[in-house]
Amino acid sequence: MLLDMLASYELAASLAILLGLAPIVYLLGKKWGRAAAWLSLLGASASALLIIHVSYTVLTSYNTLLATISFDVTSKTYGLLIYFPFYSTALRVDLSTWTASLVTSAMPYYPNPFDRAVTYPLFHIFQYRLIARPYYNIIPQPAFRIELPIAVSMNPLLLLPIDAGLLADGLSCPVAILISGLGALVLLYCTKYMGDVKQPGTFYASMLLFIGGMLGVLFSTSVIEFFVFWELMLIPTYVLVAYYGLTEKRGVTALKYFLWTTFGSSFMLVGMLMTGFNLGTFNIQEMRVVLDAYQNLLYSTVIPNVLPWITGTLLGQQVQLWLSLAIIGALMVIPVALIMVGFAVKMAIFPLHTWLPDTYMEAPMPVTLLLSAAMTKTAAYGIARIISLYFAPSVAAMTIGLSILAIITAFYGGIMALTQKNLKSMLAYSSMSQMGYILFGYSMATFYGVTGSFFHIINHGICIATWFMIAGMLLKQFGTLDFEKLGGLAAKMPVTATLAVIAGLSLSGIPPLSGFASEWMIFVGGAVANQYLLLGFMVLATAVTLAYYLWAVRRIFFGPLKPGLEQAKEPPLRYLVPAVLLVVATVILGIAPNIATQFFAPLFGATPILPTIYGWEQLAYVLTALMMV
């Protein structure tokens, strides 16, 4: 319990450091720019370490009362196809004495250690056939952990009418590690990259506020607080783009970005208010309680009274369950759709994406890195936190529409990326395309889809950050990111080339890298929801992703050395170290995705798999919803 108390202070401190250091850095930066840079790096690193420790506490403390496990068994058999992403959990072998002796008594003991070295691995492999969990005929459940969220409330005695707090649980922790870690790494990168920036105080203060705002979004307990931090995130980014943008049109671009985001946020606010007033609370955890109670009410009282013949048979029970969920879904379709609009703007989903290319090109490289790798992730996180957990039936009603939008985004981004002549713009479109993947997973509203999308948040954050760092390294050395002018650099900068290749392959979904695990899960989510056609299109989009990444790598790093590049050398360590750390994380997460999925998989376990509604039924569904409003 002491550790939990400490963890809640750590959680608050991690946010307070960032927000509190911002004015200090601003004032310091008026005279001493480098001091401001290093101080902001220090603050961001401290914040990241605190968040990592909080995540460790969340992961390792157990509380049976707050169990968030639920199992979802359907009659479909997907066997190894579904279990595959969780292959790291298969290493947990039952080590009881009985099984050990069972196996050892079947194994002869060879006194010759060289014979043992050959035969024991064979027996060891066989052992899994004997005592491994059978993974056919039921959908295997991943290794669930019962975790204790760390919560800090700003209103502990409920004296004030506001409801705000910080919640670190399995959902916030991984993304918070990603964002605060990326913040620290980017600030390290900035100390050298933006070493000669004018008005460093403003720059670093804005960066700190940006990171702090994003962390606030992640940790927020209440929908209103979420919105407040959401808007708070907007101001530093506006400042960063408007003051430190690369071209003359930076003011206009920044304004465009601001207006687009605010437009989306207004939809989101309406949706959130509707949700809050419908359910009676703005606290996200309480919403769940209310929804559960309402579902129980429907299940136990309303439906048996309205449709009494349903409760008789087993199939009727299933239908009753589904019906209760469907009614809730129907009730909440419109608020959920509005909230989705807001997130869609931030995630640059077609057709709300037009702000993205200009803003990404305009901002300096570290800012673009954070925009792409962190800010869009908060939107994806928001979908998971607010919508996917509790409003899955509503999303299931919108599956086809959302997934079509997601596919269009993926293809649009991919094809545009193929046509770009500049690495940075290619990466901007690539970012948009990957957000399409994430939305596809969410739109499927199944356990695997949502978990895969959430995992893809982390993976994409890591890999696209690597790529932007590499782009920054190239820009600093050569002053240009044109594909025409760059070529054959692998011989001169082999480490950078390796990092680029690995990050590119990860995003294209090549095993055993992390992008493969998350994309596989997303596709499995689509399969479970029976959307095979849409899934097929998404898989084709993977081919496009592979194409533009490999082509970019080919053009920049391989082939003959372009003239004028003879002086190329490996970038300095302060650029390389963050990128190397990120790539190592990609590889490790690819081999053991359970490291990340253990955080949030249990929380998504409650996501039910609902049949998708087509055509006229969908219309009737929506009309019913409208009537309910």
Q: Give the distance, in angstroms, between the CA of residue 618 and the centroid of all CA atoms in the same chain.
A: 29
Q: Please say which residue, 114 or 309, places its beta carbon nearer to another protein.
A: 114
Smallest distance from the beta carbon of 129 to another protein, in angstroms? 20
Name residues contacting another protein, limited to 83-122 (CB under 8 A). Answer: 97-98, 101-102, 104-105, 107-115
Residue 264 to residue 261: CA distance in whole angstroms: 5
Q: Please say which residue, 76 or 116, places its beta carbon nearer to another protein.
A: 116
- Token digits for 73? 């068994």
Q: Please say which residue, 113 or 563, places its beta carbon nearer to another protein.
A: 113
Q: Please say which residue, 111 or 615, places its beta carbon nearer to another protein.
A: 111
Q: Please say which residue, 106 or 491, places its beta carbon nearer to another protein.
A: 106
For residue 422, what are the β-bridge partners? 482
Smallest distance from the beta carbon of 107 to another protein, in angstroms? 8
Q: Are 347 and 230 in contact (CB under 8 A)?
A: no
- Token digits for 547? 């194409």
Q: Cis omega (within 30 of 0) on the bond before 560?
A: no
Return the residue matching tokens 């980014």: 237
Q: Quick one: angle between helices 514-528 and 494-508, nearest 10?
A: 10
Which uninterrupted H or E stretch holds 153? Answer: strand 150-153
Return the residue matching tokens 């081999």: 591
Smallest distance from the beta carbon of 122 to another protein, in angstroms? 15
Smallest distance from the beta carbon of 106 to another protein, in angstroms? 10
Which uninterrupted H or E stretch holds 245? Answer: none
Residue 509 to residue 518: CA distance in whole angstroms: 8
Smallest distance from the beta carbon of 121 to another protein, in angstroms? 15
Name residues contacting another protein, limited to 444-483 (CB under 8 A). Answer: none
Smallest distance from the beta carbon of 119 to another protein, in angstroms? 11
Q: How many residues bind another protein (CB under 8 A)?
A: 15
Amino acid residing at 470: I
- Token digits for 464? 């696209």
Q: Quick one: angle between helices 447-478 and 423-444, nearest 10?
A: 170
Residue 162 to residue 160: CA distance in whole angstroms: 5
Smallest distance from the beta carbon of 105 to another protein, in angstroms? 5
Q: Please say which residue, 108 or 195, places its beta carbon nearer to another protein.
A: 108
Q: Please say which residue, 115 or 292, places its beta carbon nearer to another protein.
A: 115
Greatest Cα pair distance, the chain, in angstroms, is 81
Q: How many CB atoms lie within 10 A of CB 8?
A: 18
Q: Please say which residue, 109 or 532, places its beta carbon nearer to another protein.
A: 109
Residue 454 to residue 600: CA distance in whole angstroms: 8
Q: Please say which residue, 99 or 311, places its beta carbon nearer to another protein.
A: 99
Q: Find all residues with CB under 8 Å of 308, minimum gap 6, and list them.
A: none
Smallest distance from the beta carbon of 130 to another protein, in angstroms? 15
Smallest distance from the beta carbon of 621 to another protein, in angstroms? 60
Smallest distance from the beta carbon of 133 to another protein, in angstroms? 23
- Contact string 382-421 vs another protein (x = CB under 8 A): ----------------------------------------
Q: Cis omega (within 30 of 0) on the bond before 161?
A: no
HSE value, Cβ hemisphere, 13 Å, CA-based, for 277: 7
Using CB under 8 A, list all residues that contact another protein.
97-98, 101-102, 104-105, 107-115
